[in-house]
Structure 1
Amino acid sequence: MKKILVTTDGSKNSEKALLEAKKYAGTFHAKLDILSVVDNSFLYAYMEEKYYSLGRTEEELDKFGEELLEESLKLFDDFEGELNVKLRRGDPADAIIKEAEKEDYDLVVMGSRGLGTFSRAILGSVSNKVLNHVETNILIVK
C-alpha cells in the first residue's frame, strides 16, 4: 500500500476516518492525501449553517474548506510520513470518485454519515455512492 486518500467534511465520523487513515499510513509508510470537497448545492445536516448554506460565495466556501483542512492537519502533528491536503469544489461523491480514479490510490478512507434508512433511500449518501463507483479498496469508518 503506497497511497491513501482520506476525506473530511468536518463531521465526527470524518475525524474518526482521519485517525484511521493515519494509522494505516503509518503502518504501511504510505503517502496520505486529505481531501475536502465544498459544495453549495445541498445543506448537510452535520455542517454548521453559519458556514455552509445555500447562497454562500465560492470564496467563502473555499475558506471554509481550507479551515476544515487546517483543523484536520492538527491530528497529524506527530505524523512522520508524506502528507498532502487537497480542496475541491463540486458534488462531494463525484469529486471523491474523480480524485480516487485520477490518482490511483490503494485505499480510500471516509466517514459514514449515519443516515437513517428513509433518508438514505431518498438522498443516498456520499460514502455509499463512492463505495459503488470506485474500483479501489474503500474503508468506511463509523
Structure 2
Amino acid sequence: MKNMLVAVDGSEAGQKAAERALELAKALSAKITVISVAVPAPAPIHWSGTHFYYDELLERQKKQAQEIVEKYKEFFEKEKLEVTTMIKEGDPAEEINKTANSGDYYMVVMGSKGLTGIKRALIGSVANYVVQSCKIPVLVVK
C-alpha cells in the first residue's frame, strides 16, 4: 500500500494540502503519515518582559506540533484512512526532506507557504527546499 507524507504546520496552506492529500489517498487507497516539525529557538530569547528558555520553548513547540498532528489524524480517520503521525525537531525543510527520502513514502503533500513568516514570490522557503531536494514526487498545494 502506498504511503503519503503530509506535512502540516497549522497554516491555511497546510489545511489545503491535507484536503488534497485526502482526495489522493482515497483515490489511491493510500496510507497517510502526518508530520509536523517543532522548531527550536537558537538561543534564549526575551519577549514582552518574559524570559523563555530553549527547553521551555521547545516543549511548547512540540506540544503545539502534537496538537496539530492529532487534529489531522482525526481529519483523515473520519474518512476511514490508515493514519500515523510523527513529530520531528529541527529545521522543517530538512526534517521533512530527510523523512521523505527515507524510502517509506510514495510522495509528499505540503502547503505552498506555512507559518514561517518568510514570503517568496511563488512558494515558501520550506516547500522550495523540499521540492529541490526530495527524491520522490512533491505536491505543493496553494
Q: Shift in Å at residue 78 of structure 1?
A: 2.2
Return the alpha-carbon distance in structure 1 between the equivalents of residues 57 and 24 of structure 2: 36
Amino acid at match of 1:25: A
How big is the shift at 1:128?
Answer: 0.1
- CA displacement at 1:24 relative to structure 2: 0.7
TM normalised by structure 1 equals: 0.79
CA offsets per residue over residues 22-58 of structure 1, 9 Å max, x none? 111111111110000010348xxxxxxxxxx985532
Structure 1 stretch 69-78 or stretch 17-26: which is displaced more?
69-78
TM-score, L = length of structure 2: 0.79
Q: Which amino acid aligns with 2:27?
A: T
Question: Is the partner of 1:79 in helix, strand or coil?
Answer: coil
Tell me the SS of whatever aligns to 1:109.
strand
Quick check: 1:4–1:107 contact (8 Å CA) kept in 2? yes
Q: CA deviation at 1:113?
A: 0.8
What is the deviation of 1:114?
7.6
Identity %: 37
Gaps of 5+ in 2: 43-51
Determine whether 1:3 maps to 2:23.
no
Please tell me whether Structure 1 or Structure 2 has the larger radius of gyration of its CA atoms.
Answer: 2
Closer, same or farther in 2 for the Cα pair 1:113/1:54, shift >3 Å?
farther
- State the distance in 1 between where 2:17 and 2:130 align: 15
Q: Tell me if the contact between 1:37 and 1:88 (Cα under 8 Å) persists in the aligned partners.
A: yes
8 Å CA contact 1:40, 1:54 repeated in 2: no
Are 1:137 and 2:123 counterparts? no
Change (3 A) 1:54 1:28: farther
Partner amino acid, structure 1, of 2:35: L
Aligned pairs (5 A) from 1:1-142: 2-41=2-41, 55=54, 56-113=56-113, 119-120=119-120, 125-142=125-142
- Verify the 8 A CA contact 1:19 1:75 in the aligned structure 2: no
Tell me the alpha carbon deviations over residues 101-124 of structure 1, each in whole angstroms, 9 at most, x when there is no partner: 114311100001189xx9438xx6
Alpha-carbon RMSD across the aligned residues, in angstroms, is 2.5
